[in-house]
Amino acid sequence: MMFKKKMLVSVIAVWAVLCIAQAAPAAPPAGFDDNEIRIGQWGPQTGPAAPWGSVARGSKLLFDIVNEEGGINGRKIKYFIRDDMYNPAQTVGVVKELVERQGVFAFVGGVGAACGMAVKDYLAANKIPWVGPSAADQDFIQPLNPYLFAVYPLYRDEANVLAQYIVEKLNMKKVGMLYQNDAYGKDGLEGAKERLATYKMSLVAEIPVEPTEKDLASQILRLKNSGAEAVLMFVNPTAAVIALKTAANVGFKPQWISSNTLSDYPLMFKISGGLWEGVITGAFGEIPDSTHPLMVKYREAAKRLNPQERWGTFYSAGILFADPLVEALKKAGRNLSTEAVMKALNSIKDYQTIGPKINWTEKQHQGTDSVMIQKCGPNASYIQLQGWTTNDLATWKKK
Amino acid sequence: MDHFKVENLSISFGGLKAVNNISFSVEKNSIFSIIGPNGSGKTTIFNMISGIYKPDSGRIICDGENIVGSSPDHVARKGVARTFQNIELFSNATVMDNLLLGRHIHMKTGVFAGAFMWGRGSAAAKEEIANREIVENIIDFLDLQSVRNHYVASLPYGKRKLVELGRALALEPKILLLDEPSAGMNTEEKGDLNIWIKDIQADYQVTILLIEHDMNMIMGISDRIFAMNQGEKIVEGVAAEVQCHPEVIKAYLGEDLSC
Amino acid sequence: MPVGQLLVEGLAIGACYGLFATAVFWLAFVITMLFSILLGVLIEFLFLRPAKHPSILGMIVITLGAEMFLMGLASWKWGAEQKFFSLPLNPSVTYEPVKGMIINNWAIAVFAVTACIMLFLYIFFKYTKLGVAMRATQQNKHAAKIMGIRTERVFSFAWGFSSLIGAVAGMFFASRATLDPAFMMEPFLRAFAAAVLGGLMSIPGVIIGGALMGLIENFFGYYWPHWKPIIAFIVIILVLCLRPSGLFAKHYVKKV
């Protein structure tokens, strides 16, 4: 009996392997036909990063609007969302499935720098354009990856602009920094130091945090005793909440300034028990209740097409990451090909929807160096402090 | 009603018959010894009696109740206490604590009431005093006064054997299973043990089942002896009958049983 | 204008609101506690009891597996995103008994609750029948059974009770950070390290181990923030090399 069971299991296993092996074709199927263009996105719909899953759903809203308006040059967009649970190993799996089974023409968005890193070379090797990764990473743009088009401002640029704001607008001289001990946090640290150096200033404290750390008492005390008036945070939402709660516990009340990754005020306000009020953040898009005509249009469409979704920063980010691809598909015309779309993407100049102005050339695929600056008001409301601000020190532009 | 009886007890491990169709009956307040070479299934019988192994077939009758299939803690509460060949004590506890644990089944007060001895006259306090008295008697009896507060792990082997015996006595059992109590003891200690077992039989009104290798001891104190080999019964009887049985002599080949 | 009457009525209603709010919290608190006990008992029954004679390592693996399972279940039921959690303690209320030493309600509550639990455990293990039975079972399950101790019940109780203490610790942690299914994983590792530091088998050892761990991490982390996350584990390795049973456990070398 036992033996038979084992036999059965091994037969099934071998058979499954054979099936998968057979199913992998030599060349991936084409990404479009006469009636549809297939576009994919990965993003955490479950798991610890699920709150960022709304990016992928935001892109869906844009494609639904495009289809409702008749599609692009006679073709409708067929859009696939795959849940990778913010796990790079799973990202590889879902991306391969989309490319090799479904036949995908291009990818948009995609949350997580590590997830993106895991598939960027695979996508380039298969000549699949990837527009608007929902993460910033120097490695996405340097050296140039011909198939990768970045919209998201680099953390280094953002920290630069935020530091400038602290010194010039808030008139604060003592700036401390709490940064996540990875590429995200360290890029932010570089940017802040770079800007402060132009004022002959330096950070009064540079405190690293591991992403999983749950006790930040010593870090906060260091910041407090450094006399920091402003603390720049490049950390994840949980660490930010712990930092704010711990600071409240020890009577430390600086001006908190954080990167755009924490710009979902309703979420941050809720999970911090209201402590988020007064925090200043960078932003990669218009505030949710903006009167910008496109924002009004998208907001109304969201109410109609996806009423149960919360209209928030990350949902609308999904739109602005995908906007340039739609623009390029339109420009490429009815006679669609990857080359035509690439040409259109490479000639996007001063293109702006609800995010920053995007410029791509054949030599430069970082679309922008600009962020907005916003502040969390009472009841998680958004207050815009400063419009699109470029980083005149951006190093990547000089190359 | 039978006091204690084993009927057609069998168990096998992976095809090997460790104990095969063994039956015997033990008189109340007697000393019943089981002898046989190593691996003949003596300890296996004890393990079945105390519920550690479940026999494949057969019955174990204790005061008229079949206890086959009962868990070890249930068997203990039925009044069967035992010691082990390889000593199973609470080694990071003192001698006193080990003996007090033997009183576990006799502690009536609830989970929490026992913690707080509200006043000297309370039921919990009275019970505590009674339990301590019994344990003190055992300590005196086994001459453990000098080590009462020592940790078991720090005691020499022979003393640990005595602590285990004392702990089994603290249960106030009706039936006491002793698995090679004299193993590892020197001649003097063995002599003491001999006397103690007789005293236990007399003072505690307990039925003793004994596994031993020391033939002098067995022949001296046993009321009846049960000899077995390779899981099978050879003979049962009084000392004189057993030690002259040809198969016993064969099983103990080379040993002088002074027949 | 019956100002006085309005004032009284208003205050009374206000007090009711206050009580109700508190009652809801305490009701939820009690339900959580009961649920955690039930959960602990269930974990022992479903995951550990079926395992025959697991080794310590086997048990740790089973426990981790159960934790993964529960984490998955919790994310499925309540979502994996961070949630706000707070105890009825205002974190911003701080006291400064000595200049430069600020203490807040949260910390006071942690100290008080820990002290109460420790006192309870001390009395429980030292003087109650069940507590003594638990210690005996932990030392030698075999012998405990032979003494008539219902070890199954002891395990159920141990799991129920430790689950309860875990829930209390979890609430304190969550009120200091955010609440999500996996948020206790990292503190769990540190708690385990603290237990190893103090000695796994000794309750005062574990508490002192925990306190030492917190102090080492924070003093060290203050001066060398980069090293804060790993200093704990460096200490553990040192302790394991020098005193394998932990700092406070009685260490016996097995005699051959």
Secondary-structure breakdown of chain B: helix, strand, coil percentages, each rounded to the nearest 5: 40, 25, 35
A7 inside domain? no
C20 inside domain? yes
- Tell how strand B31-35 and strand B207-211 pair up: parallel
Of B73, B111, B115, the CB nearest to C148: B73
For C143, which residue in chain B has the nearest alpha carbon? Answer: B88
Report the pLDDT value the prediction gives residue C231, as an integer from 0 to 100: 84
Q: Are residues C115 and C211 in the same domain?
A: no
Q: Are residues A138 and A189 in the same domain?
A: no
Q: Are residues C215 and C120 in the same domain?
A: no
Q: Are residues A278 and A308 in the same domain?
A: no
Q: Give the pLDDT confidence of B223-258 residue by residue, as tens digits.
A: 999 999 888 998 999 988 888 888 888 777 556 555
C contact set with B (CB within 8 A): 123-124, 127-133, 135-136, 139-140, 142-151, 201, 250, 252
Q: What's the 3-state SS for C43-91? A: HHHHHHCCCCCCCHHHHHHHHHHHHHHHHHHHHHHHCCCCECCCCCCCC
Q: Are residues A254 and A295 in the same domain?
A: no
Q: Which residue reads 């707070």 in tokens?
A: C86
Q: Do C133 and B104 touch (CB under 8 A)?
A: yes
Average pLDDT for residues C58-67, to the nearest whole number?
80
Report the pLDDT value the prediction gives residue C8, as an integer from 0 to 100: 53
Q: Give the pLDDT confidence of C100-110 residue by residue, as tens digits.
A: 777 888 888 88
Left (φ > 0), alpha (ψ -120 to 50) or beta: where does B230 sit?
left
Q: Are residues A320 and A356 in the same domain?
A: yes
| Touch B-C: 3+ C-beta pairs under 8 A | yes
A contact set with C (CB within 8 A): 46-51, 181, 207-208, 210, 212-215, 217-219, 221-222, 237-238, 241-242, 245-246, 248-251, 267, 270-273
Pick from A374-383, B59-68, B168-177, C55-64: least confident:
C55-64
| pLDDT tens for chain A, residues 1 to 399 | 445 566 666 666 666 665 555 544 456 778 898 999 999 999 988 776 777 889 999 999 999 999 999 999 999 999 999 999 888 999 999 999 999 999 999 999 999 888 999 999 999 999 999 999 998 888 898 889 999 999 999 999 999 999 999 999 999 999 999 999 888 899 999 999 999 999 999 999 999 998 888 888 889 999 999 999 999 999 988 899 999 999 988 889 999 999 999 999 999 999 898 999 999 999 999 999 999 999 999 999 999 999 999 999 999 999 999 999 999 999 998 899 999 999 999 999 999 999 999 999 999 999 999 999 999 999 999 999 999 999 988 877 765
A20 inside domain? no
For C107, which residue in chain A has the nearest alpha carbon? Answer: A249
Our CA-based measurement puts residue C75 at a distance from the nearest CA of chain A, in whole angstroms, of 7
Q: How far is CA A15 from CA A2, A22, B191, in A?
A: 20, 10, 73
Q: Are residues A100 and A143 in the same domain?
A: yes
Q: Which residue has the higher pLDDT, C190 or B150?
A: B150
Q: Are residues A304 and A235 in the same domain?
A: no
For A218, the token pair is: 């010593």
Of C129, C145, C250, the CB nearest to B114: C129
Of C124, C142, C149, the CB nearest to B88: C142
Q: Are residues A183 and A265 in the same domain?
A: yes
Report the pLDDT value the prediction gives residue C55, as an integer from 0 to 100: 76
C50 inside domain? yes
Nearest by Cα to A111 from A345, A315, A358, A356: A315
Q: Are residues C195 and C169 in the same domain?
A: no
| Chain B residues whose beta carbon lies within 8 Å of the beta carbon of residue C151 | 73
Q: Are residues C222 and C200 in the same domain?
A: yes
Neighbouring-strand partners of residue A177: A206, A232
Q: Do A241 and C186 touch (CB under 8 A)?
A: no
C86 inside domain? yes
Nearest by Cα to C82 from A270, A86, A379: A270
By the 10 Å C-beta count (0-12 exposed, 13-18 middle, 19+ buried), B129 is classed as: exposed
Q: For residue C1, is pLDDT > 50?
A: no
The number of beta carbons lying within 10 Å of the beta carbon of residue A320 is 26
| Touch C-A: 3+ C-beta pairs under 8 A | yes
Q: Are residues A165 and A176 in the same domain?
A: yes
Of C82, C173, C218, the CB nearest to A217: C218
Q: Which residue has the higher pLDDT, B120 or A373?
A: A373
Q: Are residues A88 and A146 in the same domain?
A: yes
C116 inside domain? yes
* Dihedral over alpha carbons A257, A263, A268, A272 (to 10 degrees): 0
B93 SS3 class:
coil
Greatest Cα pair distance, chain C, in angstroms, is 92
Our CA-based measurement puts residue B99 at a distance from the nearest CA of chain C, in whole angstroms, of 10
Q: Are residues C141 and C198 in the same domain?
A: no
Pick from A93-107, A132-146, B29-43, C161-175: least confident:
C161-175
Report the pLDDT value the prediction gives residue A375, as an integer from 0 to 100: 96
For B117, which residue in chain C has the nearest alpha carbon? Answer: C127
Average pLDDT for residues B29-42, to the nearest whole number?
90
Q: Do A237 and C104 touch (CB under 8 A)?
A: no
Percent of chain C with pLDDT over 90: 0
Neighbouring-strand partners of residue C60: none
What is the C-alpha separation between A329 and A340, in angstroms, rounded?
8
Q: For residue C20, is pLDDT > 70?
A: no
Q: Which of C123, C154, C181 is the last residue of a domain?
A: C181
Domain that holds residue C45: 3-55+81-181
C63 inside domain? no
A250 inside domain? yes
Q: Which of C181, C206, C236 is the last residue of a domain?
A: C181
| Chain A residues whose beta carbon lies within 8 Å of the beta carbon of residue C72 | none
Q: Are residues C130 and C201 in the same domain?
A: no
ipTM over 0.90: no
The domain total for chain C is 2
Q: Which residue reads 């809801």 in tokens?
A: C24
Q: Which of C181, C215, C236 is the last residue of a domain?
A: C181
Of A50, A218, A273, the CB nearest to C86: A273
What is the C-alpha separation between B50 and B81, in angstroms, rounded?
8
Q: For residue B154, is pLDDT > 60?
A: yes
Q: For residue C78, is pLDDT > 80?
A: no
A17 inside domain? no
Residues, chain A: 399
Tell me if B162 sits within 8 A of B184, measured CB to CB.
no
Q: Are residues C198 and C177 in the same domain?
A: no
A8 inside domain? no
C188 inside domain? yes
C73 inside domain? no
A5 inside domain? no
C191 touches chain A (CB under 8 A): no
C98 touches chain A (CB under 8 A): no
Q: Are residues A247 and A296 in the same domain?
A: no
Domain that holds residue A64: 36-153+289-368
The domain total for chain A is 2
Q: Are residues C147 and C192 in the same domain?
A: no
Q: Are residues C226 and C117 in the same domain?
A: no
Chains in touch with A (≥3 Cβ pairs < 8 A): C
The band of B164, judged by pLDDT with boundaries at 50, 70 and 90, is very high
The number of beta carbons lying within 10 Å of the beta carbon of residue C242 is 8
A200 inside domain? yes
The size of the B-C interface in CB pairs under 8 A is: 81
Average pLDDT for residues B171-193, to the nearest whole number?
89
Report the pLDDT value the prediction gives residue C245, as an integer from 0 to 100: 75
Chains in touch with C (≥3 Cβ pairs < 8 A): A, B
Q: Residue A101 has what DSSP assignment?
A: I
What is the C-alpha separation between C127 and C130, in angstroms, rounded?
9
pTM of structure: 0.77
Our CA-based measurement puts residue A56 at a distance from the nearest CA of chain C, in whole angstroms, of 16
Our CA-based measurement puts residue B17 at a distance from the nearest CA of chain C, in whole angstroms, of 23
A224 inside domain? yes
Our CA-based measurement puts residue C164 at a distance from the nearest CA of chain A, in whole angstroms, of 21
The number of beta carbons lying within 10 Å of the beta carbon of residue C48 is 16
Domains, chain B, with CATH or none: 1-77+175-181+207-259 (3.40.50.300), 80-172 (3.40.50.300)
C99 inside domain? yes
Average pLDDT for residues B210-221, to the nearest whole number?
88
Our CA-based measurement puts residue A265 at a distance from the nearest CA of chain C, in whole angstroms, of 14
Report the pLDDT value the prediction gives residue A353, as an integer from 0 to 100: 92
